[in-house]
Structure 1
Amino acid sequence: MTAGDGAAVLVEDRDDRTVLRLNRPDVRNAIDQQMVDELHAACTRLEQRPRVALIVGEGTTFAAGADIAQLRERRRDDALRGINSGIFDRIRRLPMPTIALIDGYALGGGAELAYACDFRLGTPSTRIGNPEPGLGILAAAGAGWRLAELVGEPVAKEILLAGRVLGADEALAVHLLNEVVEPGDLETAGHRWADRIAAQAPLAIRLTKSLFHAPRDAHPLIDDIAQAVLFETDDKHDRMTAFLERRKKD
């Protein structure tokens, strides 16, 4: 575990994964500038040494949104800097998959952080929504376009325009959550998903994630190039050889 005094993000490195703990439980893990800065630092580590990342909130809340006291004082130039949109887009572009472990509220910026992840696991108390218009602003850190990709336009508009907050069962039904478990099992479930990802060929996972988010007009050329790279790897040869040997024994 790496953390200084008063760290807003605790970083726990393991051999094949990293756990990022949002560490402002006294304010329900509200996302402030310090947390953004520390998430950027964590992204730098994950870009330099790619691995699966799990993001979890300390306490009983994933992240209740941006720090309203800071947000109230931000002006036009702050919005144009893309403080939250920049870090969430960087998280989405991390080389390896990311898993959000959502207990309690994921609202506003907290929801947008979850949307930026590849997988989202929740508990029965999970609540996800974007109440920004009620505060006189909009969900500008990805929800305005990413949410429709995740749940479809009708549900996205209910959340973004009518203030609907999804409970765990509703979020699971529209596939915004991949799984719902009891709070005490949340991190175990997250590591189970990480185990499933880690069992795959790492470079194949990295290239598949990159292809998934590539512009449509880049296909199929980049698919063929990525496959050509993988065809030359020892990992591909070894895994296929093991598969054929297992089949001979069946």
Structure 2
Amino acid sequence: MRGRRPGLRAAAGAAVTGPVLVEEHDDRVVLRLDRPEVRNAIDHATVDALHEACRLLEDEPRVAMVIGSGGTFAAGADIVQLRERRRDDALAGINSGVFDRIARLPMPVIALVDGYALGGGAELAYACDFRIGTPATRIGNPEPGLGILAAAGATWRLRELVGEPLAKEILLAGRVLGADEALAVRLLNEVVPAEDLEAAGHRLADRIAAQAPLAVRLTKRAFHAPREAHPLIDDIAQAVLFETQDKHERMTAFLERRSKPEKEK
């Protein structure tokens, strides 16, 4: 585990206060929302800590895993703060800005969703590249019931993830999906027992980490590029990768394995 960064709370440093626990490893970083007393409601301090985590992951790209403490991913934005926000706060994009930054991180981000992921918590999960849940997962956007809309990405990310009809049910009629429903529409990639959730995240991170890091980064960038950027962006990314030592070594190892007699493999 690595050292602390300003604004973040190292997992081993229980005496240090902060809304996000951070565990740094060589090829991944675990971000743990740590406000269990309010079901990890996302307040301004959490947003600031997530921005700091993004800076860490932009400076040294690694797979990220986001998980909540206390059996809840994030039950939404902090309503106490949200009630007091006005026009200029909305225009500042407090939550939408950090979620967009998470979505644009160089390496994949995995949301580990136990319990409630509602409102801003759901939008945080939507901004991640993968979502693994538990049987207790409940995910949705009840914002219109509070007189607002889901303005931190759900109005467009959710349609891309589950399609327009279901997205409208969630956004306009307050439908909350359970784990089985979310898995059936692939909003969740996998559902595992709660006690296996973090291990499942590490298994997926292991699979990603086994790939060539730069190839993963450029694939993610190309995947999210606008249609008009293709095929040029794919050709340029491939040209960069064709010149890497990693590509040469991996292909050489593949050819050497293939050339061995079956009994030697």
| TM, length-normalised to structure 2 | 0.93
Residue 8 of structure 2 corresponds to residue 6 of structure 1: no
Task: Tell me by how many angstroms 1:6 deviates.
Answer: 2.3
After TM superposition, list the pairs within 5 Å mapping 1:23-42 onto structure 2.
23-42=34-53
Q: How many aligned positions are there?
A: 250
Partner of 2:12: none
Partner of 2:101: 90
State the distance in 2 between where 1:6 and 1:179 align: 33
Partner of 2:177: 166
Q: Tell me, what secondary structure is at the counterpart of 1:203? A: helix
Partner of 2:163: 152
Partner of 1:122: 133
Structure 1 segments (4+ residues) deviating >2 Å: none
Q: Tell me, what secondary structure is at the counterpart of 1:50? A: coil
Gaps of 5+ in 2: 10-14
Question: Which of residues 2, 13, 16 in structure 1 aligns to 2:27?
Answer: 16
- In the alignment, residue 25 of structure 1 is paired with which amino acid? P
Partner of 1:46: 57
Gaps of 5+ in 1: none
Once the two structures are superposed, what CA deviation does each residue of 1:129-150 show, in whole Å capped at 9, x if it has no partner?
0000000000000000000000
Question: Which of residues 81, 92, 117 in structure 1 aligns to 2:92?
Answer: 81
Partner of 1:214: 225
- In the alignment, residue 35 of structure 1 is paired with which amino acid? T
Q: Tell me, what secondary structure is at the counterpart of 2:122? A: helix
State the distance in 1 between where 2:173 and 2:102 align: 27
State the distance in 2 between where 1:222 and 1:238 align: 24
After TM superposition, list the pairs within 5 Å mapping 1:135-214 onto structure 2.
135-214=146-225
Once the two structures are superposed, what CA deviation does each residue of 1:221-248 show, in whole Å capped at 9, x if it has no partner?
1110000000000000000000001111
- In the alignment, residue 54 of structure 1 is paired with which amino acid? M
State the distance in 2 between where 1:246 and 1:69 align: 60
Partner of 1:99: 110
State the distance in 2 between where 1:244 and 1:45 align: 37
- In the alignment, residue 209 of structure 1 is paired with which amino acid? K
Task: Tell me by how many angstroms 1:168 deviates.
Answer: 0.1
State the distance in 1 between where 2:55 and 2:248 align: 31
Task: Tell me by how many angstroms 1:34 deviates.
Answer: 0.1
Identity rate of aligned residues, in percent?
80
Task: Tell me by how many angstroms 1:5 deviates.
Answer: 2.7
State the distance in 2 between where 1:99 and 1:149 align: 17
- In the alignment, residue 89 of structure 2 is paired with which amino acid? D
State the distance in 2 between where 1:131 and 1:162 align: 8
Partner of 2:143: 132
| TM, length-normalised to structure 1 | 0.99
State the distance in 1 between where 2:232 and 2:111 align: 32
